[in-house]
């Protein structure tokens, strides 16, 4: 049986190599021309605790983490007990029979399972560090992946021009062969994975937060400060290592209040400044974001969404911060929001966020989510020559400038140069002086909202635009929703597809199209149906498919629920 893709879940204890195994498989696969996407959840603890990561491997670009687990690799008993029920019928469970926990282990009523003596096999190669390769060999047998591919990978990986390369390569290849042979003896097999079709373009493989950091770097970020918080911490660490050099600054501060007010100071001083946080930190930034809007200071704030209010679910995924991001502060404020849905979009979304912030001179919120933050995926290598970078319009005249004059965006003076003014968080006149006059508040409020019109250049995806019912997810639900859309296409369901990462302002033409629809179905990971309620307020008959489990959508569930809504839109609307 030929397979287009398969999903392997590695589960065990933190520190047992769960993540490295999954990422190793992704690396092997992409290097020989397959596509890979990993998905993981971590316990909120430092050492130990149950953890798992899965990798989906395919001969075509991958949209979601995959509904079913084809192979479970259980590193301990608890992992087996927790995950065996998610292995599909006909799937395979491999456990490390050398682990003491599995001594005398018999899985009652479970026929899909076999023990692999991972440590013994690795030891017999003379290289105990080749344990991962034993597992890769086992998986290669199950999907009948070509041995040539794997040996080619090992060559590339370990040929480093050092003494001993040859032995390491030999032991790793031996480990793969032993894993293969042992698994062949078990009698299990899943089928034959379609041959790899290596893309004819250059690729990189990286996690979502790294892509976002790289995008910010490509956009010209100069100033980054942040405070550790899951799942945004990796952006802080990336910046501290890479945002180095004259005129650049990356730094850990003592709270998210310091983060937001600090980047506002830097944005005011002329820098492209950014911070990244998650829900709790974002809540602390509320007042500062209002200051950025009021005083017209460009900054980019990344919200890596996790689950729930307060401390909530620090290591789970959710899309429940949209309202908070769009309306983050008291008073009349509506900030521009870009929400990325893939690892690739994390890169380009960051560039857009900086361009928008510079262009309209104010804060831009860049939303991502836990499931994207730690997802590792292969993407086309970005071509920097095709990227447009924008910088703010700066004031070049003499002193005596009225920085806030008029009802549109106006050039911004940079400290050190003529044009001194007060950037004021109190309502102000055109010179920046505090005022309470009604006419001024009207003028300045309208000025602040007028500037959003500069940001209506976002693009969007659309397919089957003639259908009267359309599905339009946002953020990380894009992948599973598009996979569901493709399946419904196969079933010849009449359904349109829309997607944009520019949630505010929406591309005006997209909004016009959505308004024409009988129904717009919005899959989103929150209880309230946040995006659909925003769309409804704009005159779109939008209704949500919600989920609030802390996990991403499964494609199968979306297919069912979209089908239900397209068949009885009236009923569904009444319920919403």
Partner 1 sequence: MSRKNPEYDFKWCPGCGDFGVRRALELAMINRLEETGLPMESNVMVAGIGCSGNLVHLLEGPQPYGIHGIHGRTLPIAMGVKMARPELNVVIVAGDGDFLSIGAEHIGPQAARNLNVCAVIMDNGVYGLTKGQSSPTTKEGTITSSTPFGKMEIAADPLELYLTLGVSFIASGFSGNPRRLAELINQGMNHKGFSMVHVQSPCVTYNDTFQLIKGNAKEGIEPMIWDIPEDHDRTDKAAAHALIQKRGLPVGVIYQDDSRLSLDDRVQQIWSKDRQHSVDQLIDAYAI
Which is nearer to partner 1, 394 or 434 (by Cβ)? 434
Selected from 22, 87, 423, 565, the binder of partner 1 by CB under 8 A is 423
User: Does 386 contact partner 1 by CB under 8 A?
Assistant: no
**Closest by alpha carbon to 325, among 548, 554, 511, 526?**
526
- The string of DSSP codes covering 293-307 is HHHT--EEEEEEE-B
Residue 159's φ and ψ, nearest 5 degrees, are -80, 90
Peptide bond preceding 505 in cis form (omega within 30 of 0)? yes
Which is nearer to partner 1, 71 or 206 (by Cβ)? 206
Stretch that binds partner 1, among 81-89, 117-125, 163-171, 430-438 (CB under 8 A): 430-438
Q: How far is the CB of 531 from partner 1 (least distance, A)?
A: 30
Which is nearer to partner 1, 141 or 403 (by Cβ)? 403
**Closest by alpha carbon to 323, among 545, 554, 524, 552?**
524
- For residues 209 and 238, the answer to whether their CB atoms sit within 8 Å is yes
Structure tokens at 169: 């390569």
Which 235-264 positions form the footprint of partner 1 (CB under 8 A)? 241-242, 244-246, 249, 251, 253-255, 257-258, 261-264
- The string of DSSP codes covering 238-292 is HHHHHS-STT-EEEE-S-HHHHHHHHHHHHHTT--EEEEE-HHHHHHTHHHHHHH
Q: How far is the CB of 64 from partner 1 (least distance, A)?
A: 21
Which is nearer to partner 1, 186 or 242 (by Cβ)? 242
Q: How far is the CB of 478 from partner 1 (least distance, A)?
A: 22
Helix (H, G, I), strand (E, B) or coil at 549: coil
Q: How far is the CB of 397 from partner 1 (least distance, A)?
A: 12
User: Does 389 contact partner 1 by CB under 8 A?
Assistant: no
User: Does 424 contact partner 1 by CB under 8 A?
Assistant: yes
Paired strand residues for 496:
470
Q: Tell me, residue by residue from 457 to 476, as one string, x for binding to partner 1 by CB under 8 A and - for no binding.
A: --------------------
User: Does 346 contact partner 1 by CB under 8 A?
Assistant: no
User: Does 203 contact partner 1 by CB under 8 A?
Assistant: yes
Which residues, including other chains, have CB under 8 Å from residue 304's CB and lie 6 or more apart?
209, 231, 232, 235, 276, 277, 278, 368, 369, 370, 373
**Closest by alpha carbon to 298, among 447, 446, 418, 414?**
414
Stretch that binds partner 1, among 58-66, 424-432, 477-485, 489-497 (CB under 8 A): 424-432
User: Does 205 contact partner 1 by CB under 8 A?
Assistant: yes
Cα–Cα separations (whole angstroms), residue 92 to 5, 8, 105, 138: 15, 9, 16, 11
Q: Tell me, residue by residue from 24 to 43, as one string, x for binding to partner 1 by CB under 8 A and - for no binding.
A: ---x--xx------------
DSSP character for 37?
E
Given the structure tokens 């104010």, which residue do they identify?
362
Which 89-148 positions form the footprint of partner 1 (CB under 8 A)? none
Give per-residue burial for 498-537: e unless 16+ CB within 10 Å, then b: bbbbbbbbbbeebbebbeebebbbbbbbbeebbbbbbbbe
- For residues 469 and 519, the answer to whether their CB atoms sit within 8 Å is yes
Which is nearer to partner 1, 80 or 238 (by Cβ)? 238
User: Does 303 contact partner 1 by CB under 8 A?
Assistant: no
Which is nearer to partner 1, 91 or 290 (by Cβ)? 290
Which is nearer to partner 1, 170 or 287 (by Cβ)? 287
Paired strand residues for 74:
11, 95
Selected from 218, 237, 467, 551, the binder of partner 1 by CB under 8 A is 218
Selected from 66, 270, 480, 523, the binder of partner 1 by CB under 8 A is 270
Q: How far is the CB of 354 from partner 1 (least distance, A)?
A: 13
- How many residues touch partner 1 under the rule CB under 8 A: the total is 71
User: Does 391 contact partner 1 by CB under 8 A?
Assistant: no
- For residues 25 and 136, the answer to whether their CB atoms sit within 8 Å is yes
User: Does 271 contact partner 1 by CB under 8 A?
Assistant: yes
Which is nearer to partner 1, 11 or 333 (by Cβ)? 333
């Amino acid at each position: 049986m030929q397979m287009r893709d398969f999903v392997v879940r590695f589960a065990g204890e933190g520190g047992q190599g769960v993540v490295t195994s999954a990422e190793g498989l992704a690396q092997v696969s992409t290097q020989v021309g397959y596509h890979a996407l990993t998905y993981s959840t971590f316990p909120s603890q430092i050492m130990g605790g149950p953890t798992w990561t899965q990798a989906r491997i395919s001969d075509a670009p991958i949209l979601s983490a995959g509904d079913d687990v084809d192979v479970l690799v259980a590193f301990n008993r608890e992992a087996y007990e927790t995950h065996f029920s998610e292995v599909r019928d006909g799937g395979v469970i491999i456990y490390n029979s050398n682990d003491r926990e599995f001594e005398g282990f018999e899985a009652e009523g479970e026929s899909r399972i076999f023990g692999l003596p991972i440590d013994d096999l690795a030891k017999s190669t003379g290289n105990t560090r080749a344990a991962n390769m034993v597992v890769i060999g086992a998986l290669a047998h199950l999907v009948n992946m070509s041995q040539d591919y794997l040996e080619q990978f090992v060559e590339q990986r370990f040929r480093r021009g050092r003494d001993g390369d040859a032995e390491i390569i030999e032991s790793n290849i031996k480990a793969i062969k032993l894993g293969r042979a042992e698994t062949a003896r078990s009698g299990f097999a899943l089928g034959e994975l379609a041959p790899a079709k290596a893309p004819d373009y250059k690729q990189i493989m990286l996690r979502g937060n790294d892509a976002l950091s790289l995008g910010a770097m490509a956009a010209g970020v100069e100033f980054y400060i942040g405070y550790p918080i899951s799942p945004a911490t990796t952006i802080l660490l990336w910046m501290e290592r890479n945002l180095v050099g004259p005129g650049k600054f990356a730094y850990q501060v003592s709270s998210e209040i310091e983060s937001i007010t600090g980047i506002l100071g830097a944005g005011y001083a002329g820098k492209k400044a950014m911070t990244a946080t998650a829900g709790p930190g974002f809540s602390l930034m509320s007042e500062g974001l209002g200051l950025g809007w009021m005083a017209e200071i460009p900054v980019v704030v990344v919200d890596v969404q996790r689950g729930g209010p307060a401390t909530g679910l620090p290591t789970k995924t959710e899309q429940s911060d949209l309202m908070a991001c769009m309306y983050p502060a008291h008073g009349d404020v509506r900030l521009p929001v870009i929400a990325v849905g893939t690892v690739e979009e994390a890169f380009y979304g960051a560039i857009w966020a900086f361009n928008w912030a510079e262009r309209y001179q104010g804060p831009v919120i860049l939303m991502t989510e836990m499931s994207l933050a730690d997802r590792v995926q292969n993407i086309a290598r970005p071509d920097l020559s095709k990227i447009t970078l924008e910088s703010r319009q700066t004031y070049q005249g003499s002193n005596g400038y009225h920085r806030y004059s008029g009802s549109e965006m106006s050039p911004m003076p940079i400290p050190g140069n003529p044009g001194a003014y007060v950037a004021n968080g109190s309502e102000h006149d055109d010179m920046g002086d505090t005022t309470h006059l009604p006419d001024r508040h009207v003028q300045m409020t309208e000025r602040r909202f007028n500037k959003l019109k500069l940001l209506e250049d976002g693009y969007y995806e659309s397919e089957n635009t003639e259908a009267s019912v359309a599905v339009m997810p946002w953020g990380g639900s894009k992948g599973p929703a598009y996979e569901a859309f493709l399946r419904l296409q196969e079933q010849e369901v009449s359904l349109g597809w829309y997607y944009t990462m520019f949630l505010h302002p929406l591309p005006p033409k997209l909004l016009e199209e959505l308004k024409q629809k009988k129904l717009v179905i919005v899959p989103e990971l929150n209880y309230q149906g946040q995006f659909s309620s925003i769309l409804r307020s704009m005159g779109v008959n939008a209704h949500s498919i919600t989920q609030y489990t802390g996990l991403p959508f499964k494609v199968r569930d979306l297919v069912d629920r979209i089908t239900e809504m397209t068949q009885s839109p009236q009923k569904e609307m009444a319920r919403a």
